[in-house]
Every structure is written in structure tokens, then in C-alpha cells.
Amino acid sequence: MKRRVLVIGAGNFLGIKLIRALAASDWASPVPFQGPGAISAGHLDGIDAVFNGTMESPRAIVHAAQSLHQALRSTASVRVVHLSSMTVYGSYSGTAAESTPLRADLGAYGAAQVAAEALAARCERSVILRPGCEYGPGCPQWSERIARLLRSHRLGDLGANGDGACNLVYADDLVAAIAASLRMPGLEGARFNVAMDSPPTWNEYFSLFARALAAVPVSRIGGRRLKIESRLLAPPLKILELLGRRVPGLSRALPPPITPSLLNLCRQDITLDSRRAAQALGLAWTPLAAGLRQAAAGLRSRSESPA
């Protein structure tokens, strides 16, 4: 008998990848849940495990955690894997282990992740994953958006503004971590950071990815230009981006904003310690060069495909 896995967030890029991986396995049968309604006890009938991969707005992240917590009160033993984020460490500097105190000091998104983790932790059968920045084919934030900025030479070598650690995790490695967390026994109550060993700086990531994309020469972006981007251009571009989500195809025609939160992350000296995840979940991290080749190839394939 295959285990039936409810996948919350089935419509986002990670949910789609996970559903494909589970469907191809010999042990799991995925059951998609896309919302936007609340998860109820009825959704858990016949379910053996749950993955909560809600990625949308801060409000949606907290709402999904709340409704799932309420639904779990009336069920028998169900393994729950909750997708959190490295943003739960807030403005912390240094090496972050799973025991590092959480901080909700970087805005609404990080605060929502901290609140959602607190709800997930009330379920003693839960496993919480704290990934870094997901990259690879189909990853909208840290591959597709970054590629657009590199190709337009709005990102590149940021100097001191890009010397922070870039805690990358290849999307397929994250899917493997989720699948192992759903399946392996004895993980109840575990918390895992999920990111590659020895991460590059953001400057190194931008430079290596630009070369993989053939978006060379890599531009040097000074502090004055970054201030113009983040303080003057980002607010109206962000508004247009939000409006563009209501019009199919419009968001891709708009230039992506370079937000203050992105620049803060590029400067932050935080490195995720993911040794526990690698050991407990049996993970092997995809080499960065290979991951970037796959990310660039995926973008070329999309641009060359017929409309």
C-alpha cells in the first residue's frame, strides 16, 4: 500500500516538483491541495502524511498553518512536514544551527514564518524544514528573477554589498529532503536547516550564474546605483508587480524590483549549518556548477519553446 500524502501548496513550483517525485516513487501517492480555502479534518481522511508548502503571502502562510493545526486535532497519527524558511533567523549573523534562537525582526514574511513554525511545533509528529534560497530549473525567485536582473545588467558584482553568504539549495535536493522527512521513521519533532555546504557569497553566485547564462561581462554595480534601485525604483515596480499578478503574462513583461530586503540579504553574514539534515535525511548536495548549468539550461529551454 502506498502512503497517501496531502500536498498543501500543490500549485507552486516546489509543490509541483514534489508531486511529480512522489508519483514516480514506489511508496507514495500524492493528494494535491491548492486552496485557497482552509484545510479541514475532512481533507485528512485517509491521509498518512501531510506536507505544508505554503509559499504565498505572510497572511496565507499563517492561515494555512492555523487551519492545518486545527484539523490535526481530530486525527490519528499523521506525519506533518512543514516548510519554513531561513528567514526565521532574522538578522542573525554567524553560523545558524537549528538551536539558534528565532527572530521576527526582518518584516512581515519572516514574522509569518516564525508564527507558522510555532503552530507546526504544537504537533509532536511534525518535522520542520528551514531551507535557504531555492535555485534550479523552474525556481521563480532565486533563478528566474535573478537571471532577468543579470541579463539586464542590473545585478552583478555588488562590491561590499554582495559579500554576504548565499545559502543556496538546489530544488531537487530540497524535494529529496521533503520526501525523506515524510517517509523516514523517528524524525518526530526534528528541525532541519536545508542548504548546501560552503555557500558562495552573493557576488560569487551572481558572477557564476551570469557566466552560465552567457550574460557577460558581469557588471559592477555601485552603492549609488543600488540606492536608486531600492529606494526610488523598487516601490513603484513592486506595486506594478502585484497588480500584474491579476493580468496573465503582464508580470513577466515588467522589470523585477531590486528591493531593500534583497540587498539586506546580500549583505547578511549568515551561514546555515545543514549537517544534521545531511546526516539524518541521507542528503547529498548538488554541486553548484552543476546546479547552475541546469538552471541556465531550463531558462534557455523556456525561452526557445514556442508561445
Predicted confidence at residue 279, as pLDDT, reads 97
Residue 274 lies in a domain: yes
In a domain, 250, yes or no: no
pLDDT at 4 over 80: yes
Report the distance separating Cα 233 and Cα 269, nearest Å.
26
Mean pLDDT of 147-170: 97
pLDDT at 307: 44
Give Cα separations from 83 to 181, 212, 257, 276 (angstroms): 11, 29, 25, 16
Is residue 277 in some structural domain?
yes
Is residue 306's pLDDT more than 60? no
Residue 56 has pLDDT above 80, yes or no: yes
Question: pLDDT averaged over the chain?
Answer: 93
Q: Which amino acid is at 68?
A: L
Q: With beta carbons less than 8 A apart as the criterion, state whether 181 and 192 touch.
A: yes
HSE-up of 105 (CA within 13 Å, CB side)? 9
| Residue 224 domain flag | no
Domain assignment of residue 106, yes or no: yes
CATH code, 205: 3.40.50.720
H or E segment to which residue 31 belongs: strand 28-33
For residue 245, tell me if it sits in a domain: no
| Count of domains observed in the chain | 1
Confidence at residue 46, expressed as pLDDT on a 0 to 100 scale: 92
User: How far is Cα 45 from Cα 71, in angstroms, rounded to an integer?
Assistant: 10
* pLDDT in the model for residue 11: 92
Instruction: Provide the pLDDT for residue 276.
Output: 98
Task: Say yes or no to pLDDT of 143 above 80.
Answer: yes
pLDDT digits (tens, 9 = 90+) for 86-116: 999 999 999 999 999 999 999 999 999 999 9
Interval 187-226: pLDDT, tens: 999 999 999 999 999 999 999 999 999 999 999 999 999 9
What Cα–Cα distance (Å) separates residue 17 from each residue in 30, 68, 139, 290, 292? 11, 22, 10, 18, 18
Q: Please give the residue that has the higher pLDDT: either 34 or 81.
A: 81
Answer with the residue of higher pLDDT: 280 or 253: 280
Within a domain: 140: yes
b vs e for 189-225, b when ≥16 Cβ sit within 10 Å of the residue's Cβ? ebbbbbbbeebbbbbbbbbbbbebbebeebbebeeee
Query: Would you place residue 34 in the very low, low, confident or very high pLDDT band (cuts 50, 70, 90)?
Result: confident
- What mean pLDDT do residues 15-27 have? 98
Q: What is the pLDDT of residue 96?
A: 98
Query: Does residue 239 belong to any structural domain of this protein?
Result: no
Parent domain of 16: 3-212+258-297
- How much is the pLDDT for 247? 72
pLDDT at 31: 97
- pLDDT: which is higher, 242 or 20: 20
